[in-house]
Structures are given as structure tokens and as C-alpha cells.
Amino acid sequence: MEKLFEISGFNIYLQVAVTFISIVLHLILMRKKKRKEPVIAIIAVYTICLSGWFALVSGLFGHIFFADQVASSIGWPLSSGFQMELGFAAAGIGLIGFLAFWKRSFMLPYIIARSVFLLGAGITHIVHMVQHNNFAPSNTGIVLYWDFIFPVVLIALYALYRRSKKGRSHFKIEK
């Protein structure tokens, strides 16, 4: 398992694959039943909430248990206490997103926190490329792109989710 954290963007590839498979399975298993929620709501919930799960797991494993492997792939110093702090921050943010499976009112706070976290990480990666010539595999490429693209995806899916809920009296949006 240790080697998996040395693959740049592994958690991103895994998240996309698991989310896609989960959505497809849900739609296949529910195809004969009268669906209460629109397809876009299913896509949004799985994408948002599973991204919370992956933030939680990758924060704990990547930045706490396998901190040196991750630090090395990003081009950061090894044995830094900041890795553990980052891991707990990512885990806390991720937990809010994962809990949104059961409490939909957690979705927006999760999206705000996760988006700020990812955009800040993306800016940090760019600063380190420019100021420190850090072009380590996990400081560039898919990781960098994800930091800027995924917040847009989360916000767009949440907007579509909210729009799909308007006028549906059997769905109560928690406040």
C-alpha cells in the first residue's frame, strides 16, 4: 500500500473511478424502480459526498501514515509536523463532505471549505514551481490541474443539485 502513495495523483484517479462506478451501479440497480430524485441529483450527491470520503482517507493515510512518501512526491521536506496538521485538516474537511450523504445541509459548507483548500493548494504548487523550481510529480500535473478544476466541478454540481430540488415538495432542503 505504501507504494500507492508514491503514484502521483493516485487518490484522484481512484476517486474518479469509484465515483463513476458508484453512480452507474446506483442507476442500474434503481432503473426499474420509480426514481424520486433526478439523475443530476444522484450524480451530485455521489460526487460531492464521495469526494469527502476520499479527502478524509487521503488526508489520514497520505499526510499522516505515509507522510514522507507523499512529501517526497510533492518535493516537500520529510518528517515535517505540518504534514500531520495538513492530514487532520483534510480529514476534518472530508468528514463534513462524507456526512453530507446523510445530512444534505453539510454539502455547501463542505464545498466552500474544500474549494478554498484546493485552490490554496493549487496556488501554493504554482508558487513553489516559480520560486523554488519544484517540479516534483505531485506538485505538477494532474494534482495541480485537480486543485483548480475540482472546485468548479463541486460548485457546478451543487448548483445543478439545488436547481433540481426546486419545486419538489417531497424533498426538503435542510437549513
Q: Return the CA Rg of the chain.
A: 17
Helices (H), 105-140: 107-132
132-169 pLDDT, tens digit each: 999 988 889 999 999 999 999 999 999 999 999 885 54
Of the candidates 107, 72, 97, 81, which has an alpha carbon nearest to the alpha carbon of residue 2? 72
Residue type, 166: K
The owner of cell 424533498 is: 171
Give the model confidence (pLDDT) of 95-141 as tens digits: 999 999 999 999 999 999 999 999 999 999 999 999 999 998 888 99
State whether residue 99 is helix, strand or coil.
helix
Give the start-end residues of each E strand in the chain: none
- At residue 170, the pLDDT reads 47
pLDDT tens per residue, range 61-91 = 888 888 888 888 888 888 888 889 999 999 9
Q: Is 77 helix (H, G, I), strand (E, B) or coil?
A: coil
Give yes or no for residue 12 having a pLDDT over 50: yes
